[in-house]
């Protein structure tokens, strides 16, 4: 099976590495030549455009920042739709608006190209390990056909419904993660300002009902002051905006999501959008004039 991969960012590069390890032949494209050169050293072949990357491929995977990037890469002037053969499948693993996924799927269907919208959760560490959680929308037969490709990237892949269902599920995931990070930030700051050691608090809490994957991944980063991005505030904010839009479409109020989005917007206005979303704790440090852990 020949695969092309478009989008070699924080997540895309390790995903490509895992596909190559699984024995797949890959053609890759990204607007960043350095990123392309890096994965070519692993055995991938470079293409000069999205269209060129898709030529002759059975499966084309996209991993891009937002809806606009995916639309341009798939149905733009030099997009995948103009190079992919009929009967091929686009697996878009980006986190985009469900409505955009449906729109792209409709355009591809007219050209005889199948689609799965298959966003992931787990961030850079799980992308490196190949243990991402994959939420999929599309036809059952196409999901089965592409299952082995998905499992070269992740540890689980669940078909949630038709095209758009994958991204709706991802929005739900992003709500849970964002609110959890905010709760961890708020709780650790409460204890720290009361004079407790945040390291000991974390160790005490993690074994109980409040323990979570988010707590284990983000509390140590907050305590260490490590805001190197595995998942950027800007991108998570984009997901929450998509979630709020989706809520309006179906008539579902999302009051907590709206509040956490405002916290992220505050940090973005301070130029912190490129930081890891665990840097949400810096919002609480700012409003309390207190550092989580003193140097």
- Helices 255-269, 233-250: axis angle to 10 degrees equals 150
- Look at residue 113 and tell me if it is in a domain: yes
Same domain, 75 and 106: yes
Residue 294, pLDDT above cutoff 70: no
Residue 204, pLDDT above cutoff 90: yes
Residue 230 has a pLDDT of 83
Final residue before a domain boundary, out of 163, 193, 211: 163
Same domain, 38 and 181: no
Phi and psi angles of residue 142, each rounded to the nearest 5 degrees, phi first: -70, -40
User: Could you tell me where the beta strands, DSSP code E, fall in 127-266?
Assistant: 132-137, 154-161
- The catalytic site residues sit at 170
For 209-261, what is each residue's pLDDT tens digit?
Answer: 999 999 999 999 999 999 999 889 999 999 999 999 999 999 999 999 999 99
Residue 130's domain spans which residues? 2-163
Residue 133, pLDDT above cutoff 90: yes
How many domains does the chain contain in total?
2
Same domain, 112 and 230: no
Span 112-134, average pLDDT: 95
Rounded Cα–Cα distance for residues 127 and 106 (Å): 29
Residue 295 has a pLDDT of 62
Same domain, 29 and 89: yes
How much is the pTM? 0.91
For 144-156, what is each residue's pLDDT tens digit?
Answer: 999 999 999 999 9
pLDDT band for position 18 (cuts 50, 70, 90): very high
């Amino acid at each position: 099976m020949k695969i092309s991969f478009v989008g070699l960012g924080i997540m895309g590069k390790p995903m490509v590495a895992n596909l190559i390890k699984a024995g797949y032949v890959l053609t890759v494209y990204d607007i960043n030549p350095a990123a392309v050169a890096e994965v070519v050293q692993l055995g991938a072949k470079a293409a000069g455009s999205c269209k060129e990357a898709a030529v002759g491929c059975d499966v084309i995977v996209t991993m891009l920042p937002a809806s606009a990037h995916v639309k341009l890469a798939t149905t733009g002037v030099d997009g995948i739709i103009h190079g992919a053969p009929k009967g091929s499948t686009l697996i878009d693993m980006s986190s985009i608006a469900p409505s955009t996924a449906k729109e792209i799927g409709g355009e591809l269907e007219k050209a005889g190209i199948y689609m799965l919208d298959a966003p992931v959760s787990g961030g850079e560490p799980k992308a490196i390990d190949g243990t991402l959680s994959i939420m999929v929308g599309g036809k059952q037969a196409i999901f089965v056909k592409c299952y082995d490709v998905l499992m070269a990237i992740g540890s689980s892949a669940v078909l949630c419904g038709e095209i758009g269902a994958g991204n709706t599920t991802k929005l739900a995931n992003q709500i849970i993660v964002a609110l959890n990070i905010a709760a961890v930030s708020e709780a650790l700051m409460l204890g720290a300002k009361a004079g407790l050691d945040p390291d000991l608090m974390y160790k005490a809490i993690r074994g109980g009902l409040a323990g979570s994957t988010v707590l284990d991944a983000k509390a140590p980063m907050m305590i260490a002051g490590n805001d190197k991005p595995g998942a950027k505030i800007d991108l998570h904010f984009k997901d929450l905006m998509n979630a709020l839009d989706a809520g309006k479409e179906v008539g579902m109020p999302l009051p907590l999501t709206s509040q956490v989005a405002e916290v992220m917007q505050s940090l973005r206005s301070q130029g912190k959008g490129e930081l890891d979303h665990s840097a949400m704790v810096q919002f609480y440090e700012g409003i309390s004039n207190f550092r989580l852990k003193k140097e």
